[in-house]
Amino acid sequence: MLLIDVVRVSEAVTRTSARLGKIGHLAELLGRVGAGEAEIAIAYLSGELPQRQIGVGWRSLQDLPQPKLAATATLTEVDELLSTIKAVSGQGSQAARKALVSRLFAGLTRQEQAFMLRLLGGELRQGALDGVMIEAVAKASGAPSADVRRALTLRGWLPAVGAAALTGGVPALRAFRLEVGRAVSPMLAGSAPNVVTALAKAGAPASLEWKLDGIRVQVHRSGGEVKVFTRTLDDITGRLPELVEAVLELPSDDLVLDGEVIALRPDGRPHPFQVTASRASSKVDVARLREQTPLSVFFFDLLRVDGADLLDLPYSDRQEALGRAVPPGLLTPRLVTDEVAQAEKFFTDVVRAGHEGLVVKSLSSPYAAGRRGAGWVKVKPRHTLDLVVLAAEWGHGRRQGKLSNLHLGARDPEGGGFVMLGKTFKGLTDELLAWQTERFLELAEGPADELTVRVRPELVVEIAFDGVQRSPRYPGGMALRFARVLRYRPDKRAEDADTMETVRSLML
DNA sequence: TTCCGACAGTGGGGTCGCAAT
DNA sequence: ATTGCGACCCCACTATCGGAA
């Protein structure tokens, strides 16, 4: 199949707003792609590469060669070139990589180049990713989408699942099994503003569990071999030797566990997330690092033990099995209750202990990939500050032409000005975007560039955030974590905004 | 007919490893 | 030694579609 066939379908998908219409376009193409190229087509049309990543980002895609006039590139040819680029990137030479990228784009028409640019940049923006592609695979193969989802949970990679469905139908999908040593798509959590709402979503009684601010890990053990995967299924076994050792000490030698690693201080309270992240992403001199900053692991789910797959069991059964397989010291603290007062106290306690909050889990739900639905619901406390808008950046995509991303500052009584604490684009409705664009242009002052409009510091906005962290980037040495807009405060003037002193008091 | 679950899009701060400067 | 880039940790929120109620 030619690349241009895929590009045309992607364009049709982009033009179609109805989801069923998008699915129709995708399924039509999947119906005519050859077995040898199905995996490539599915990957491209859900915004992925069969190679996952190839070491090429937006910067390596500047000044590309002139396009060709005739579209002749096949999917297989493009795929082979991308594999070559990945191999060269792994070996280091940026010049060689650049030459290969040029060769790839020199073989494409203008239309194909535009598609490839978005695909490699990781921003396909056609309104269809995995969720829509699952339905398209189901439609094209005649299999129920539940079978496709189930296979995706077990296999963790939709292009492989989709290709199997197209050639082998339902039997091929049902042939996927949990394989120890191969990562499963992780189950994710939705969120709720408070414990009561979370309990209502998950259904009482529910399991309430400490939400630790660390790194999600999926751990596989087969005999004496252990593998550790992240949420995006990267293998990070080599960075976490203490986790490997802990799992090797468990009585069972056939396990798939789900949990969180986190750096704790000697008194048991958590280090800031940055400390855990730094430790978990370091590959060099791990032996020394683990002495300085040991990581602890806390498991909360068990997907397999001693030859038995547990994914389809209700959560309460998996918990029971987990309790038998893992000693109490490696278990995430939890409480099963249907009483709001008890639940609220548990929440207060975990926050007082310095942790992030709770995950409230339905006792009956099986383990299912993706689906940030009602099965698991997270609850975290929320801080707010009244800050001043210092500037705004022009948005992209559906926010094109709107001033979107706000630069936020706290008042600095000593210096007499405002100190920037970060940016946010979250929480804005279309109406608010329109309003603030107009208002900011009225308040515009100082040097502007193509990206940013500076404004007189007069508008006060109420910002919600999860915490204050140490920042190497911002002038005050502090930045807000997960900042989002709650509302503008027309009743407040800049002189009434919160101060740096207040922000400092929130940083632990 | 209305409601609500699932999805995609729009970007945020921080860290490491590596190549080029 | 420093800088820029790519990849990947953590992530919240709104608009929209279409099936459920």
Residue A74: is its pLDDT beyond 70? yes
A399 touches strand B (CB under 7 A): yes
Query: Topology of A3-174 in CATH?
Result: DNA ligase i, domain 1 (1.10.3260)
Residue A294's region, left for phi above 0, alpha for psi from -120 to 50, else beta, is: beta
- A128 CA to C18 C1' in angstroms comes to 15
Domain boundaries, chain A: 3-174, 192-379, 383-505
Q: Which residues contact A253 (CB under 8 A, 6 or more apart)?
A: A221, A222, A223, A224
Please give the Cα distance from A484 to A486 (Å, whole number).
7
Residue A73's region, left for phi above 0, alpha for psi from -120 to 50, else beta, is: beta
A94 touches strand B (CB under 7 A): yes
Sequential DSSP letters for A182-194: SPPPPB--EE-SS
Q: Read off the DSSP letter of residue A473.
A: S
**The predicted structure's pLDDT at residue A318:** 97
Residue A144: is its pLDDT beyond 90? yes
Range A187-212 average pLDDT: 94
**The predicted structure's pLDDT at residue A446:** 80
Residue A45 vs residues A40, A143, A378, A487: alpha-carbon distances, Å = 9, 19, 31, 38
pLDDT digits (tens, 9 = 90+) for A393-424: 999 999 999 999 999 999 999 988 999 999 99
**The predicted structure's pLDDT at residue A295:** 98
Residue A50 vs residues A8, A42, A83, A148, A504: alpha-carbon distances, Å = 20, 9, 9, 18, 46
Smallest CA-to-CA distance from A471 within A384, A408, A382 is with: A408
* Residue A168 confidence class, pLDDT cut points 50, 70, 90: very high
A93 touches strand C (CB under 7 A): no
Assign domain A383-505 one CATH number from 3.30.450.20, 3.30.160.60, 3.40.47.40, 2.40.50.140.
Answer: 2.40.50.140
**The predicted structure's pLDDT at residue A60:** 93
Chain centroid, CA A368 distance in Å: 17
Please give the Cα distance from A353 to A334 (Å, whole number).
14
Chain C nucleotides reached by a protein CB under 7 Å? 4-19
Residue A468: is its pLDDT beyond 90? yes
* Residue A181 confidence class, pLDDT cut points 50, 70, 90: very high
Q: Choosing from A139, A201, A211, A361, which is the catalytic residue?
A: A211
Please give the Cα distance from A234 to A231 (Å, whole number).
7
Range A292-305 average pLDDT: 98
**Whether A402 is catalytic:** no
Range A164-183 average pLDDT: 97
Please give the Cα distance from A114 to A233 (Å, whole number).
29
Please give the Cα distance from A76 to A48 (Å, whole number).
15
CA of A485: nearest nucleotide by C1' is C13
Please give the Cα distance from A124 to A109 (Å, whole number).
17
CA of A94: nearest nucleotide by C1' is B19
- A2 CA to B13 C1' in angstroms comes to 41
If you compute the radius of gyration of chain A from its CA atoms, what whole number of angstroms results?
A: 25
pLDDT digits (tens, 9 = 90+) for A77-133: 999 999 999 999 888 788 899 999 999 999 999 999 999 999 999 999 999 999 999
- A158 CA to B1 C1' in angstroms comes to 37
Residue A355: is its pLDDT beyond 90? yes
Average pLDDT, rounded, for chain A: 96
Residue A370: is its pLDDT beyond 80? no
* Residue A450 confidence class, pLDDT cut points 50, 70, 90: confident
Domain A192-379 belongs in CATH node 3.40.50.1980: no
**The predicted structure's pLDDT at residue A341:** 96
- Amino acid residing at A177: R
Residue A190: is its pLDDT beyond 80? yes
Range A228-252 average pLDDT: 97
pLDDT digits (tens, 9 = 90+) for A326-340: 999 999 999 999 999
**The predicted structure's pLDDT at residue A373:** 67
- A199 CA to B18 C1' in angstroms comes to 47
For chain A, give the percent of residues with pLDDT over 90: 94
**The predicted structure's pLDDT at residue A447:** 75
Smallest CA-to-CA distance from A407 within A476, A467, A454, A458 is with: A454
